[in-house]
A and B are shown apart, each in its own frame.
Chain A
């Protein structure tokens, strides 16, 4: 694996009229790395993703995709610069079929006039089929996305990101509300993305984190509390006190 940085965050922060939800976070995620963001409720994990993906405008700091600065650009420009994002509350196109959802995602020429034609090129259709396979949604391809189960909806959103094939993928609690079996399947999908994409994953489920994690960044009250391999984090006294609490990480 190369040591080129895919995502560089420098002293990023946002001030919600006095309250700093994220306060000077710096982080370098290398190409192909899978980084887990850990932190108690309200630590600022989602807000950090909002800052990277353009949903929230930062009041300090900078963000780079490789060498391109994307700080406070429009959401669609940031997406095109190479960042795909999955939301904490799964969001898909509910009235379109599963396949249609993926076709929309497969369309990488974003202009209106460029899209006044019919159908999708064969290579896009192949990517859609691949993603359907990877997310285990082949049987559901013709169903309306709104009819999917919670787990399937999450996988569909993941599949959309797979089809998009962006360099960097941000996942906000991809296993929230899933059963154990669903969580396991999700970890398999995410493991399948390792190496091909640079991933940043917010997760609470420690079993899941152990399944996928390489390097972990712990946020606390909007700041980086610790960063390191899972063993180091599990032993870190500060992290135990701040986040893992008395029940420990085991």
Chain B
């Protein structure tokens, strides 16, 4: 059953309001920073709901797009850090490049090692931002074109995306001279807009992330309300039927796959602002699968549900993390929760809540106008 529009709008509005009011309740910068990270996870939840719930594409390599976004901005912020600026060269230079340089190498981004020139444009922070959005989208476009034009579907898409994220992770670690390998990019500068520096532990940074989440959340919701969003859901239900109605099915799948990747890349960038590092762990299999669990528990076919699922699970996890035994137990709880949800609650928490509200409204409608209810 579909809920009245007013209920949906109320749900989104109260969630956004809660995000905006949070700093009034939480004043500890440490916790505010944590919540900023959970907002990032919320954005990831949205991106998973879009591809899994609405397009029917279970991407087990969403961490690839997140990681690409993260690395792009982290490269810029690395060059903006105090250490990079004080290497005594004309261009800023990441410290790890210097540590690993051949004796006598020219200490300049152009040629300290074979790949270092790639870093040159990242001296401009906005280049990093642009790449953080463009690269995940582009990779998704190419990957999507291959997968969907070849009519690969279902579990095979999951296997391909899973393999790809692992592959890129290996390459990333292997390209140690320009990526700092396992260690990732740490000791970053702050994101700066018009002279204002986004210190991860101040309220404006929280708001940057929270507003981003709100925009992504509402944007994604509006997107699935468009005709294209409706056709996408039709394609999810029956690809062939849509084809014989005259729709170029792969075009829709590629488009929404790209949007999902763009959102994940954006999340990666925001994460770097809040966490001050980028690491190959973003492309670990466990991370990509964890995102899917968040979305499944929250409700993959609900944009808001998946978002809240991601934030809720992380908040619970953090409040338990004080004790090591709890942490171990928590992993089991999460695993169990996933299995139970998949088996018994395919629509997740969002489904339960929707049904509950629906029943409440239904009962009221019956009381008010029995005829309407009977016609349903």
A residues within 8 Å of B by Cβ? 53, 74-76, 79-80, 84-85, 87, 91-97, 100-101, 103-105, 107-108, 110-113, 115-120, 139, 142, 157, 160, 164
CB < 8 Å neighbour of B227 from A74, A91, A101, A107: A107
Q: A76, B247: Cβ atoms under 8 Å?
A: yes
CA distance A111 to B227 in the complex (A): 10
Q: A112, B238: Cβ atoms under 8 Å?
A: no
Q: What residue in chain B is nearest A109 (Cβ atoms)?
A: B227
Q: What residue in chain B is nearest A80 (Cβ atoms)?
A: B246
Given A84-B244, A92-B241, A100-B230, 13 additional A-B pairs, CB 8 A: A75-B243, A79-B244, A91-B241, A93-B242, A95-B233, A96-B230, A96-B233, A112-B228, A115-B226, A115-B228, A116-B226, A142-B376, A164-B245
CA distance A142 to B252 in the complex (A): 25
Q: Which residues of A contact B255 (CB under 8 A)?
A: 112
Q: A104, B228: Cβ atoms under 8 Å?
A: no
CA distance A79 to B240 in the complex (A): 12
B343–chain A nearest beta-carbon distance, Å: 19
Q: A93, B237: Cβ atoms under 8 Å?
A: yes
Q: Which residues of B contact A93 (CB under 8 A)?
A: 233-234, 237-238, 241-242
Q: B237, A96: Cβ atoms under 8 Å?
A: yes
Q: What residue in chain A is nearest B228 (Cβ atoms)?
A: A115
Q: A76, B234: Cβ atoms under 8 Å?
A: no
Q: A104, B226: Cβ atoms under 8 Å?
A: no
Q: Which residues of B contact A119 (CB under 8 A)?
A: 227
B76–chain A nearest beta-carbon distance, Å: 31
Q: B245, A105: Cβ atoms under 8 Å?
A: yes
The answer to whether the Cβ of B249 comes within 8 Å of any Cβ in the partner chain is yes
A111–chain B nearest beta-carbon distance, Å: 7
Q: B245, A112: Cβ atoms under 8 Å?
A: no
A122–chain B nearest beta-carbon distance, Å: 15
Known contacts A76-B247, A108-B246, A160-B245; is-contact A91 B240 (Cβ 8 Å): yes
Q: What residue in chain B is nearest A79 (Cβ atoms)?
A: B246
Chosen A-B contacts, 11 in total, with CB atoms closer than 8 Å, are A75-B244, A76-B247, A80-B246, A91-B238, A91-B240, A104-B245, A107-B231, A108-B246, A110-B247, A111-B251, A112-B252
CA distance A157 to B247 in the complex (A): 16
- How many A-B pairs have beta carbons closer than 8 Å: the answer is 88
Q: Which residues of A contact B246 (CB under 8 A)?
A: 76, 79-80, 108, 110, 164
B residues within 8 Å of A by Cβ? 2, 223, 225-228, 230-231, 233-234, 236-238, 240-249, 251-252, 255, 375-376
User: Which 3 pairs, one residue from A and one from B, show the smallest C-beta to C-beta distance?
Assistant: A79-B246, A115-B228, A115-B227
CB < 8 Å neighbour of A103 from B230, B244, B249: B230
Known contacts A91-B238, A115-B228; is-contact A110 B244 (Cβ 8 Å): no
Q: A94, B227: Cβ atoms under 8 Å?
A: no
Q: Which residues of B contact A115 (CB under 8 A)?
A: 226-228, 231
Known contacts A75-B243, A96-B234, A164-B245; is-contact A116 B375 (Cβ 8 Å): no
CA distance A101 to B241 in the complex (A): 10
Q: Which residues of B contact A100 (CB under 8 A)?
A: 230, 234
Q: Which residues of B contact A107 (CB under 8 A)?
A: 227, 231
Q: Which residues of B contact A91 (CB under 8 A)?
A: 238, 240-241
Q: A94, B230: Cβ atoms under 8 Å?
A: no
Q: A94, B237: Cβ atoms under 8 Å?
A: yes
A186–chain B nearest beta-carbon distance, Å: 19
Known contacts A93-B234, A100-B230, A118-B225; is-contact A112 B244 (Cβ 8 Å): no
CB < 8 Å neighbour of A104 from B230, B248, B376: B230
CB < 8 Å neighbour of A116 from B228, B234, B251: B228
CA distance A64 to B2 in the complex (A): 43
B71–chain A nearest beta-carbon distance, Å: 29
Q: What residue in chain B is nearest A164 (Cβ atoms)?
A: B245
A142–chain B nearest beta-carbon distance, Å: 7
Q: B233, A76: Cβ atoms under 8 Å?
A: no
Q: What residue in chain B is nearest A160 (Cβ atoms)?
A: B245
CA distance A93 to B239 in the complex (A): 9
Q: Which residues of B contact A142 (CB under 8 A)?
A: 2, 376
Q: Which residues of B contact A104 (CB under 8 A)?
A: 230-231, 234, 242, 245
Known contacts A94-B237, A104-B234; is-contact A76 B226 (Cβ 8 Å): no
A141–chain B nearest beta-carbon distance, Å: 11
Q: Which residues of A contact B249 (CB under 8 A)?
A: 76
Q: B241, A112: Cβ atoms under 8 Å?
A: no
Q: A97, B2: Cβ atoms under 8 Å?
A: yes
CA distance A87 to B245 in the complex (A): 12
